[in-house]
């Protein structure tokens, strides 16, 4: 029986390799507790029970892994779309910054000191206004981007929680059914 129990743990453990550690620990503990419970067992019934419920438990794990993977993929896809939606604004802001710097650097090309100072004075005032507007746009974009990312992080958290709750419920039911089967109550 110990060999069979270890085989079942190996199958379940392998299937759960990508699942969160809390879920993996709880499942392993439940399996071990169930295997270690003293019973007057009918070896044939026990073998049939494990043969029937091992694939059921593996399917529960497979569904959980698929749902968890879908949560991650949806999050990553949404994150990419959101980031791309800000690409043009970033390019526009970058262009304003580069143009302002380039425009100010042109004043350095003036040979005469008076002309250079007049250029910096006039150009600096104009570019300062443009950079101030750019700064406001940048701050607004950063706030908006952060809000959108926070929203999808929340959605992912709910998705993860729903997948874990479904897993816990299905797994609990399967363990209870297996326990009843091992006790000779059902098959």
- Please write the tens of the pLDDT for every residue from 154-175: 999 999 999 999 999 999 999 8
Name the one residue in this structure whose structure tokens are 């043009």. Answer: 88
Q: Confidence class of residue 10 from pLDDT cuts 50, 70 and 90?
A: very low
Q: What average pLDDT does the segment 89-106 reach?
A: 96
Q: Confidence class of residue 183 from pLDDT cuts 50, 70 and 90?
A: confident
Give the pLDDT of residue 31. 63
Neighbours of 15 (CB within 10 A): 19
Please check the confidence at residue 9 and state whether its pLDDT lies above 50. Answer: no
Q: What average pLDDT does the segment 124-151 reach?
A: 96
**Those residues with Cβ within 8 angstroms of residue 89's Cβ, 6 or more apart along the chain or in another chain:** 137, 141
Predicted structure pTM score: 0.70
Whole-angstrom Cα distance, residue 147 to residue 45? 57
Give the pLDDT of residue 119. 94
Give the pLDDT of residue 162. 96
Of 147 and 43, the one with more pLDDT: 147
């Amino acid at each position: 029986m110990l060999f069979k129990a270890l085989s079942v743990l190996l199958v379940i453990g392998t299937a759960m390799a990508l699942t969160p550690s809390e879920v993996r620990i709880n499942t392993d503990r439940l399996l071990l507790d169930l295997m270690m419970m003293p019973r007057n067992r009918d070896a044939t019934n026990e073998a049939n029970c494990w043969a029937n419920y091992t694939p059921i438990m593996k399917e529960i794990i497979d569904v959980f892994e698929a749902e968890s993977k879908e949560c991650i993929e949806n999050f990553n896809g949404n994150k990419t779309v959101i980031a791309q939606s800000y690409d043009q604004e970033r390019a526009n802001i970058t262009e304003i910054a580069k143009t302002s710097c380039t425009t100010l650097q042109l004043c350095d090309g003036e040979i005469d000191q008076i002309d250079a100072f007049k250029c910096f004075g006039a150009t600096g005032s104009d570019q300062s206004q443009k950079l101030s507007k750019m700064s406001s746009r940048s701050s607004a974009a950063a706030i908006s981007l952060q809000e959108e990312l926070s929203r999808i992080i929340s959605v992912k958290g709910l998705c993860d929680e729903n997948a874990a709750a479904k897993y816990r419920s299905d797994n609990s039911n399967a363990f209870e059914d297996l326990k009843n089967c091992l006790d000779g109550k059902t098959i």
